[in-house]
């Protein structure tokens, strides 16, 4: 048998930090601290391989393992001066699990192993405190019986309550030695009754029970589910750490605490943490006593009276300071420490990479580069791009109390509070008076745009992550919670009904578009503040990344925002959004209602100058940076109302016959609009729409050229191509209109014509399409919908269930499904490039702002990713990380 | 330069029938007839290569070509005894186009080339009929000016009318020589006026004008469009045939006619055709005179008085009989002949393979095998499988008059007449009284099934080729015309409104489900009669084919029909169809309305015995043949009504609260149901439905096993798999229910669990899925929808336009799109087989009954195709042809 037990302690530690696979995270770091000469209670780690063998051998431990453990215990006894099970001078042990990755759902910790009716007396004598010994004993029984034997907590609580009542006292601390004895006796009776066997008094039985329980917990349901969701292989197994107990509750010269080597919420380089005198770790967790600050400065800053560790235990604090500095310098990373002081002696129980806020992550990464601890590449890899989002939007104050009314889809990040209003006009009116409002609708439609602009946030009871509300809100950077099925929006009553609650117009609510929460009343929010660290890190990212970063935007405001966030071009300008403005929508409807081409052309003539100005504005802002303009994409029925009331309203407002409108709406109705008469199919059926848009584009481009000199970067994109013929027909038309306008104006602009690749068939036909298409932009939203056969809007009903069951490891609408959608993209990229080596490849689906997807796009060699303005920084960092990763792989290969 | 002109005639013919590529179809066959020693007017063919050279050289003919043509004309002059342009003894020529494939849209024929003011006199003298000569001359001017110079017909008609008016006569035949002279003079003035140049009187100019006009017509728009649609390459080019004129209008010993070597509508082996005495071919086409029968027997059979050719020109007829027998024996195929008799002398102008009805095709193919003319393999290749359909369904009498009211989608083939009824109950009631009815609905729903059964045919104003009406009608073999947008069905008025017409309840209409026509009144139909020839051919097909043929069916009637048509198994049993029966639908609804799993299970318990009996019936009929049972597939909302009236109706009928029903209907509503909560997603959300179905299947299988001994062939199919995990979860559940039932009954059945492959992602993940799936069945309907991103139901709006524009060469829902959908299938088949070499592969989309798709399925090595019962014979024949084709290819390779 291979070596199954690794010793750590003053006496020749066998493991090290780079042995996480075998020893788990906790075990490897305990070994590393011992190697560094830091005070670690001696102990040993049983390897993950032993765990796997144990599970494979039908939960049987081998004789070899028993021998190894036995000899390791003897080493602890030698170092600590005590005997495991020795009634005079008992050695107590802790047993803790420790897998490669932190993994909730498994057995965690059992303390005080080694206590029984004999050894408890020895412990009491040794500690000079019998009450302490019995308290420790009852803790062992309680913890062990619960975790190993499965006895429910409430049995123990009941017994404790009865004893306290008998004694007429309220606090555990008032119980004396005899009381604890009584409690222990009752505990043991109860455990025997519940389990059909007595609580083990043999200390070796206790130890093996605990160890095997850790092993078994690897296969419990919660752990399996967690692994399935997080993609952790079942064969990793867990290690077990067995360690000599140290006690922070041996009097006022004892203590326990946790610390961070830097401030985990601000990133400030200051020692930060809490401690409790005369307490064990679990007391801190239980929250019965309030922990104290570690440093004097923190105490003063918070106006606390109770002394800090720095003041109360200056020498131990000095030692701790030395330790934390050693650890941070050694790991070159902010550490999260656990320590115990036993009778004035410092013991380190754990060190690991500390969790931190996004702000702190940024600051620490940048500071550490400046301190020379790490290089820029390392700094870049240490900030999670996804978490940058919380820096860019207001967030809810974490400490604040919240009454959550309901939960919906986190459709557009950020938090906002305001008065409930039910119509766009109200929203605008109140906002004009300086009120903050939340616009609440069943669904939003193009008519609501002005209200969405005026509101602080948008809440809808229907619609998914790609509903009108969600898409528009994300573009605007407004928080939005969509599809809150649990609420009923009643326009007639001007009220929202949630279970038995009613929220009326004018009541204040708060929405958190990052979590999907709808909260009653106002919750304080934290405004985002972009530090210089952010700029620094972004600059470093830009130096490293090879992927271009563009944005999906069409309004001047959004485009401006994106440019400020570092976008290098527009990857998707959705021209249909320009049709929704109140001054255009009536012309759009006139076009849709027209009986023939002539009628449509008349209406389009009205739109032409507006579209021209739309594009001219963009060209002016972009100053020659690339702009991908997509021709009209959605089915025409999206521009006309459907509900009977809405139709009447619109009809009377725009002077159209309601019957005509209703008839046309019915005519245009589709059973599956996502797969309907849209995209290039529209341009082929109604070439005049395409012609108007192309004319507007070229007139604008030439106009701006005449103002500023050369303008370029124009890319015209045809949506929803399934066959090369569709593309060829439309390219021909685009080229001919371009030529016409250029001749009229006597000037030319350079431009490209390309296509969205958003249908599986287009991916398979990429070689053919690339013969005439000059660029591809992957529309991964629709590609995901068609590859999976899943309507994103309808998927709410089962998507959660699918994620919980691990059928989808991640939501394929959030992160590219590499095995399916990604495979299609790879086919298209490869075949497209083979046919046209210099073809420009990008992505403009929402995945363009998802770090894992950005990594994938880098790997398959796309030229750029395009995402919503607020995700541009995320994409920049993710692209840099992808480039670094590749550098590493290339180096290895 | 290569040889550009090929001579044919008595004097050493240079071409032959196998030179179609170079000489075109007509030229090759003229050469072949000359080779056979048959009387062909001498002439020559200018090759397709010359055409291509001419077009490539910017419409310039080469000097070499001129020389070749010149020398060929001299050969004609020598053989015919006349001179081209000789005023005494003029040779006249015809010029005809002739491409490789018959191709409408191109220039066809110019006759009488070589006439001018001089030669017309020579012709008159030689023929002894000056009027005939001038008539021929004016025909040349008219034809040539129209076809070559582009002068519109009406100019000629006007001039003719004026002359006739002046002379006070009505018929052309009353015009004399001088009248024709006058007409000719006026024609030439007019032509010069219209064209700015005189009609060419140089006979060589006439000839080259005609030849070049044929070449140019290869690139006219109609020809280009035709080629694009029919996939004919642009570089094939056309040949030109120049031939000495013969005249069937040189008196009563002259005639012209067309003939078939067998009866083209019955296939009977009898000489069949028509002729006209003293006429030219164009007179037959113009339809001014009624042609006579060729044979005496045909004349007598039709009770005609006018003598047949056999009686009137016995010796020429005898020669023609000899000729036709030679030709059929030589070509070993039924021929379509054109001939002219000039002054008692027979001349053959054309022979080609004759078009025929499906019945005739069958009979001819089988007869020719029996006559030893062809072998079985040839017979199989000669019948177009797609045309078998017309043998299996009633068809409209082709001669009958029809008043077409409107046109819809040809949703289910066959024709039927009956009284208009608007409800399923009425349909049933009237049918019970022996009336024939056509059920007319806006759309049909499960409640209409009994009415659809009772009706002769179904007509809907909404819905596509996969609407409920279409799918159910096809399954039942009932004619159906769906989605007739031009009609408005008004249930309140009990009327159909079409433009200004009204069709009331009880009026008779006829529908043609093969063409989509809706016709007022009763049109006589022809009942299908399956001849022994059909059985014979099918038997031969079965001997040759390697693909298995299954059927998509679930009712005992349909399954029985399919078995009679030769199905070898069920490839798709859609269990949801079993839920639509009136005795089940209420239990199904109860399940859908249930609040929780318990409620659902209660409702499912009611369905269990019915499902069990459904399956038991199928197992009994199939006697161990394979049955693929698909678990419930459609979204649940398909089982509940949506319209307000319907909801109220159903609610009161089934005693459910209408509000509850309405609420649930709204809850289940989906924006894109095709991509919705259906297929395996249902089984994962509501495992109890899957469990009920699986239990019913196994209880039935074991029941039938106990009745008959071993039953097998059971294949359980999971629909709409996108990920392997979905399949694994459901396979686990299926296996566990199977095991449970088998243990209860103490007996086992063999079975397989497999999946539909109908999503692009599933195709790409085939290797992974095949690890656990034992068979794949390609669901090409949904695969086409998702690969193209096209909702079939909504595609009507642009599909026609797409076909006309050649964007889709064929409707991808009719014939598998090989480049896209086919590529996905190939990936899946290849990867699936690599992972599991013995995986069973089939197809159950509607493409399974399309000959081209069957050929593709054969080529990629599927094990079987499955199609609707009435298409089974088509699939059998198509599969045989695919196997023969492969044999040929393998032999070549």
pLDDT tens for A302-321 read 888 999 999 999 999 999 99
Nearest-CA distance A792 → chain B (Å): 8
- pTM of the complete model: 0.83
Identify the bridge partners of residue A512 per DSSP, sorted by sequence position.
A415, A517
pLDDT at residue B537 is higher than 80: yes
Place of tokens 């020895």: A122
pLDDT at residue B288 is higher than 70: no
From the candidates A666, A672, A722, which should be mutated to test the interface with B, based on the most B CB atoms within 10 A?
Answer: A672
Q: Is the dihedral of CA A144, A145, A148, A152 positive or negative?
A: negative
pLDDT at A386: 85
Q: What are the residues whose beta carbons fall under 8 Å from the beta carbon of B263, sequence distance 6 or more?
A: B269, B270, B272, B360
Check CB contact under 8 Å for B794 and A681. no
> Which residue intervals of A556-654 are DSSP H helices?
556-564, 582-593, 597-622, 644-654
How far is residue B196 from each of residues B37, B60, B154, B188, measured CA to CA in Å? 46, 22, 18, 11
pLDDT at A708: 85
Using an 8 Å CB-CB cutoff, list chain A residues near B765.
Answer: 819-820
pLDDT at B286: 58
Backbone angles phi, psi at B30, to 5 degrees: -60, -45
Check CB contact under 8 Å for B786 and A685. no
Q: Helix B203-217 and helix B48-56: axis angle, to 10°?
A: 90
Q: What is the DSSP string of B5-45?
A: EEEESSS-----GGGHHHHHHHHHHHHHHHHTT-----EEE
- The rounded percent of chain B whose pLDDT value lies above 90 is 69
Question: Which among B103-112, B388-397, B494-503 has the top mean pLDDT?
Answer: B494-503
pLDDT at residue B284 is higher than 70: no
Helix or strand or coil: residue B461? coil
Number of H helices, E strands in chain A: 35, 31
Name the helix (H) or strand (E) containing A496.
strand A495-498
Using an 8 Å CB-CB cutoff, list chain B residues near A801.
Answer: 684-685
pLDDT at B475: 67
Identify the bridge partners of residue B348 per DSSP, sorted by sequence position.
B339
- Among candidate residues B51, B844, B857, B867, the one labeled active-site is B844
pLDDT at residue A646 is higher than 80: no
pLDDT at residue A1 is higher than 60: no
The rounded distance, in Å, linking the Cα atoms of A61 and A66 is: 8
pLDDT at residue A540 is higher than 60: yes
Residue B468 annotated as catalytic = yes
CA atoms within 13 A on the CB side of B743: 6
Cβ–Cβ < 8 Å for B427, B434:
no
The rounded distance, in Å, linking the Cα atoms of A444 and A440 is: 9
pLDDT at residue B675 is higher than 70: yes
Check CB contact under 8 Å for B676 and A725. no
Mean pLDDT of B34-60: 95
Nearest-CA distance B792 → chain A (Å): 8
Check CB contact under 8 Å for B791 and A675. yes
At B322, the pLDDT band (50, 70, 90 cuts) reads very high
Backbone angles phi, psi at A409, to 5 degrees: -85, 135
Token pair in block for residue B331: 């070509």
Chain A residue whose CA is closest to B727: A807
The rounded distance, in Å, linking the Cα atoms of B117 and B125 is: 13
Token pair in block for residue A43: 């102990």
> Which residue intervals of B375-414 are DSSP H helices?
376-382, 385-392
Check CB contact under 8 Å for B820 and A760. yes
In terms of phi and psi (left: phi > 0; alpha: psi -120 to 50; beta: otherwise), the region of B106 is beta
The residue ranking higher by pLDDT, B192 or B172, is B192
Q: What are the residues whose beta carbons fall under 8 Å from the beta carbon of B744, sequence distance 6 or more?
A: none
Mean pLDDT of A396-410: 87
pLDDT at A54: 94
Using an 8 Å CB-CB cutoff, list chain B residues near A720.
Answer: 789
Check CB contact under 8 Å for B787 and A760. yes
Cβ–Cβ < 8 Å for B327, B353:
no
Chain A residue whose CA is closest to B764: A820
pLDDT at B1: 55
Annotated catalytic residues of A are: 468, 844
Closest CA to B89 of B120, B123, B124: B123
Nearest-CA distance A595 → chain B (Å): 15
From the candidates A461, A488, A664, A675, which should be mutated to test the interface with B, based on the most B CB atoms within 10 A?
Answer: A675
pLDDT at B293: 92
Check CB contact under 8 Å for A786 and B791. no
Using an 8 Å CB-CB cutoff, list chain B residues near A469.
Answer: none
Backbone angles phi, psi at B786, to 5 degrees: -80, -35
Closest CA to A588 of A515, A661, A658, A645: A661
Check CB contact under 8 Å for A675 and B768. no
- The rounded percent of chain A whose pLDDT value lies above 90 is 69
Using an 8 Å CB-CB cutoff, list chain B residues near A761.
Answer: 787-789, 817, 819-821
Check CB contact under 8 Å for B675 and A676. no
The rounded distance, in Å, linking the Cα atoms of A616 and A631 is: 16
Check CB contact under 8 Å for B820 and A782. no
Nearest-CA distance B795 → chain A (Å): 7
Q: What are the residues whose beta carbons fall under 8 Å from the beta carbon of A645, sequence distance 6 or more?
A: none
pLDDT in tens, A496-535: 999 889 999 999 999 998 889 999 999 988 777 777 999 9
Helix or strand or coil: residue B658? helix
Mean pLDDT of A264-289: 82
Tell me what ipTM this predicted complex has.
Answer: 0.82
Cβ–Cβ < 8 Å for B265, B360:
yes
Chain B residue whose CA is closest to A672: B672
Using an 8 Å CB-CB cutoff, list chain A residues near B821.
Answer: 761
Cβ–Cβ < 8 Å for A94, A110:
yes
Cβ–Cβ < 8 Å for A608, A692:
yes
pLDDT in tens, B716-738: 999 999 999 999 999 999 999 99
Q: Helix B872-892 and helix B532-544: axis angle, to 10°?
A: 40
Token pair in block for residue A368: 């550490």
Q: What is the DSSP string of B55-116?
A: HHTTS---HHHHHHHHHHHHHHHHHHT-BTT-SSSB--EEEEEEESS--TTS--EEEEET--
Question: Which among A98-102, A479-483, A743-747, B58-62 has the top mean pLDDT?
Answer: A743-747
pLDDT at B727: 97
How far is residue A395 from each of residues A196, A406, A510, A527, B302, measured CA to CA in Å? 52, 18, 11, 7, 94
Distance of CA B124 to the CA centre of its chain: 49
Place of tokens 């027997």: B297
For chain B, what is the largest distance between any 2 Cα atoms, rounded to a whole number of angstroms? 105
Mean pLDDT of B685-706: 96
Mean pLDDT of A618-626: 95
Chain B residue whose CA is closest to A724: B807
Distance of CA A789 to the CA centre of its chain: 26
Cβ–Cβ < 8 Å for B109, B81:
no
Nearest-CA distance A126 → chain B (Å): 58
pLDDT at A428: 86
* Helix, strand, coil fractions of chain B, as percent rounded to 5: 50, 15, 30
Q: What is the 3-class SS of A190-251, one letter each residue?
A: HHHHHHCCCCCCCHHHHHHHHHHHHHHHCCCHHHHHHHHHHCCCHHHCEEEEEEECCCCCCC
Place of tokens 């290849």: B830
| Cα torsion through B583, B584, B585, B586, rounded to 10 | 80
Question: Which among A12-16, A318-322, A665-669, B285-289 has the top mean pLDDT?
Answer: A318-322
Residue among B681, B782, B786 minimizing CB distance to A798 = B681
Check CB contact under 8 Å for A808 and B723. yes
The rounded distance, in Å, linking the Cα atoms of A582 and A585 is: 5
Check CB contact under 8 Å for B760 and A805. no
pLDDT in tens, B428-450: 889 888 889 999 998 887 678 77
Check CB contact under 8 Å for B722 and A788. yes
pLDDT at A10: 84
pLDDT at residue A285 is higher than 70: no
pLDDT at residue B131 is higher than 70: yes
Using an 8 Å CB-CB cutoff, list chain A residues near B675.
Answer: 672, 674-675, 785-786, 789-791, 794
Residue among A670, A760, A798 minimizing CB distance to B786 = A760
pLDDT at residue A158 is higher than 60: yes
**Averaged confidence pLDDT in chain B:** 91
Q: What are the residues whose beta carbons fall under 8 Å from the beta carbon of B195, sequence distance 6 or more?
A: B145, B149, B150, B151
Check CB contact under 8 Å for B674 and A675. yes
The rounded distance, in Å, linking the Cα atoms of A575 and A629 is: 7
Token pair in block for residue B33: 């007839």
Number of H helices, E strands in chain B: 35, 31
pLDDT at A709: 82
pLDDT at B860: 96
pLDDT at A220: 85
pLDDT in tens, A208-230: 999 999 999 998 888 887 787 67
**Averaged confidence pLDDT in chain A:** 91
At A287, the pLDDT band (50, 70, 90 cuts) reads low
pLDDT at A401: 87
Cβ–Cβ < 8 Å for A517, A525:
no
Nearest-CA distance A764 → chain B (Å): 6
- Of A104-113, A824-833, B163-172, B700-709, minimum mean pLDDT range: A104-113
pLDDT at B892: 56
Residue A87, Cβ neighbours under 10 Å: how many? 15
The rounded distance, in Å, linking the Cα atoms of B479 and B417 is: 10
Chain B residue whose CA is closest to A823: B764
DSSP state of B637: G
Helix or strand or coil: residue A344? coil
pLDDT at residue A892 is higher than 60: no
Check CB contact under 8 Å for A786 and B787. yes
From the candidates B761, B778, B820, B823, which should be mutated to test the interface with A, based on the most A CB atoms within 10 A?
Answer: B761
Chain A residue whose CA is closest to B826: A764
Distance of CA B714 to the CA centre of its chain: 35
Identify the bridge partners of residue B241 per DSSP, sorted by sequence position.
B45, B96
pLDDT in tens, A754-807: 999 999 999 999 999 999 999 999 999 999 999 999 998 888 778 888 987 889
Geometric angle at alpha carbon B671, from B666 and B672, rounded to 5°: 130
The rounded distance, in Å, linking the Cα atoms of A247 and A281 is: 9
Backbone angles phi, psi at B269, to 5 degrees: -85, 80
Identify the bridge partners of residue B437 per DSSP, sorted by sequence position.
B419
Residue among A674, A685, A817 minimizing CB distance to B672 = A674
pLDDT at residue B182 is higher than 90: yes
- Of B195-199, B662-666, B755-759, minimum mean pLDDT range: B662-666
Closest CA to A317 of A332, A290, A339, A302: A339
- The rounded percent of chain A whose pLDDT value lies above 70 is 98
From the candidates B633, B663, B727, B789, which should be mutated to test the interface with A, based on the most A CB atoms within 10 A?
Answer: B789
From the candidates B489, B669, B675, B766, which should be mutated to test the interface with A, based on the most A CB atoms within 10 A?
Answer: B675
């Amino acid at each position: 048998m291979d070596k199954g037990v690794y010793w750590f302690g003053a006496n020749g530690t066998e493991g090290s930090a780079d042995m996480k696979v075998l020893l788990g995270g906790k075990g490897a770091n305990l070994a590393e601290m011992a190697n560094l000469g830091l005070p670690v209670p001696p102990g040993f780690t049983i390897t993950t391989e032993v765990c796997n063998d144990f599970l494979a051998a039908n939960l049987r431990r081998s004789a070899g393992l028993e021998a190894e453990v036995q000899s390791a215990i003897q080493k602890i006894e030698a170092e600590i001066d005590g005997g495991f099970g020795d009634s005079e001078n008992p050695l107590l042990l802790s047993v803790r699990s420790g897998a490669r990755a932190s993994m909730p759902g498994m057995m965690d910790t059992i303390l005080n192993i080694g206590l029984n009716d004999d050894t408890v007396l020895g412990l009491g004598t040794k500690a000079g405190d019998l009450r302490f010994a019995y308290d420790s004993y009852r803790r062992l029984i309680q913890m062990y019986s619960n975790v190993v034997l499965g006895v429910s907590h409430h049995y123990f609580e009941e017994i404790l309550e009865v004893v306290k009542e008998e004694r007429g006292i309220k606090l555990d601390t008032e119980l004396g030695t005899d009381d604890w004895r009584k409690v222990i006796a009752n505990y043991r009776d109860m455990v025997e009754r519940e389990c059909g066997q007595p609580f083990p008094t043999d200390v070796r039985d206790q130890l093996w029970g605990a160890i095997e329980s850790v092993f078994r917990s690897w296969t419990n349901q919660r752990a399996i589910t967690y692994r399935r969701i997080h993609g952790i292989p079942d064969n990793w197994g867990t290690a077990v750490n067995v360690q000599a107990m140290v006690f922070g509750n041996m009097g006022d010269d004892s203590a326990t605490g946790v610390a961070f080597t830097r401030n985990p919420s601000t990133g400030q380089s200051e020692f930060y943490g809490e401690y409790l005198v005369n307490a064990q770790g679990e007391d801190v967790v239980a929250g019965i006593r309030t922990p104290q600050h570690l440093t004097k400065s923190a105490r003063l800053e918070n106006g606390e009276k109770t002394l800090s560790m720095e003041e109360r235990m200056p020498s131990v604090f000095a030692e701790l300071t030395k330790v934390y500095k050693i650890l941070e310098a050694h790991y070159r990373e902010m550490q999260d420490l656990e320590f115990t002081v036993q009778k004035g002696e410092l013991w380190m129980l754990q060190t690991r990479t500390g969790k931190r806020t996004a702000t702190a992550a940024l600051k620490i990464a940048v500071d550490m580069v400046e301190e020379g601890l790490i290089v820029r590449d390392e700094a870049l890899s240490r900030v999670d791009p996804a978490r940058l989002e919380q820096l860019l939007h207001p967030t809810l104050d974490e400490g604040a109390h919240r009454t959550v009314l309901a939960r919906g889809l986190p459709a557009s990040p950020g938090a906002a509070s305001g008065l409930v209003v039910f119509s766009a006009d109200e929203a605008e009116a109140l906002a004009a008076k300086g009120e903050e409002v939340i616009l609440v609708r069943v669904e939003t439609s193009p008519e609501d745009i002005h209200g969405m602009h005026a509101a602080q946030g948008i809440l809808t009871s229907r619609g998914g992550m790609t509903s009108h509300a969600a898409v528009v809100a994300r573009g605007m950077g407004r928080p939005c919670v969509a599809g809150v099925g649990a609420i009923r929006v009643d326009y007639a009553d001007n009220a929202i009904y949630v279970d038995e609650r009613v929220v009326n117009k004018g009541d204040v609510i708060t929405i958190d578009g990052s979590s999907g929460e709808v909260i009653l009343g106002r919750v304080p929010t934290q405004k985002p503040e972009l530090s210089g660290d952010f700029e620094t890190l972004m600059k470093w990212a830009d130096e490293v990344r090879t992927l271009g970063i563009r944005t999906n935007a069409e309004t001047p405001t959004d485009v401006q925002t994106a440019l400020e966030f570092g976008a290098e071009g527009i990857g998707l300008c959705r021209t249909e959004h320009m049709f929704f403005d109140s001054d255009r929508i009536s012309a759009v409807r006139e076009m849709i209602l027209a009986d023939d081409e002539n009628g449509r052309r008349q209406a389009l003539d009205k739109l032409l100058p507006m579209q021209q100005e739309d594009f001219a504005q963009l060209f002016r802002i972009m100053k020659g940076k690339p702009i991908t303009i997509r021709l009209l994409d959605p089915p025409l029925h999206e521009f006309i109302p459907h509900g009977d009331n809405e139709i009447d309203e619109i009809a009377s407002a725009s002077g159209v016959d309601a019957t005509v409108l209703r008839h046309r709406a019915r005519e245009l109705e589709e059973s599956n609009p996502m797969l309907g008469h849209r995209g290039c199919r529209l341009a082929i059926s109604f070439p005049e729409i395409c012609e108007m848009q192309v004319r507007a584009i070229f007139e604008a481009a030439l106009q701006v050229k005449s103002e500023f000199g050369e303008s370029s970067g124009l890319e015209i994109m045809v949506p929803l191509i399934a066959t090369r013929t569709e593309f060829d027909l439309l390219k021909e038309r685009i080229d001919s209109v371009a030529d016409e306008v250029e001749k009229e104006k006597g000037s030319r602009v350079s431009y490209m014509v390309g296509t969205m690749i958003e249908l599986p068939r287009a991916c398979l036909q990429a070689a053919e399409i690339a013969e005439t298409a000059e660029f591809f932009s992957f529309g991964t939203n629709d590609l995901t919908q068609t590859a999976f056969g899943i309507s994103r809007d309808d998927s709410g009903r089962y998507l959660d269930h699918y994620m919980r069951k691990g059928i989808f490891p991640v939501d394929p609408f959030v992160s590219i499904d590499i095995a399916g959608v990604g495979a299609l993209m790879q086919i298209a990229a490869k075949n497209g490039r083979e046919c046209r080596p210099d073809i420009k490849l990008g992505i403009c689906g929402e995945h363009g702002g998802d770090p894992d997807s950005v990594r994938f796009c880098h790997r398959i060699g796309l030229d750029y990713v395009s995402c919503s303005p607020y995700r541009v920084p995320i994409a920049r960092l993710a692209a840099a990380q992808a480039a670094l990763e590749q550098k590493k792989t290339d180096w290895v290969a």
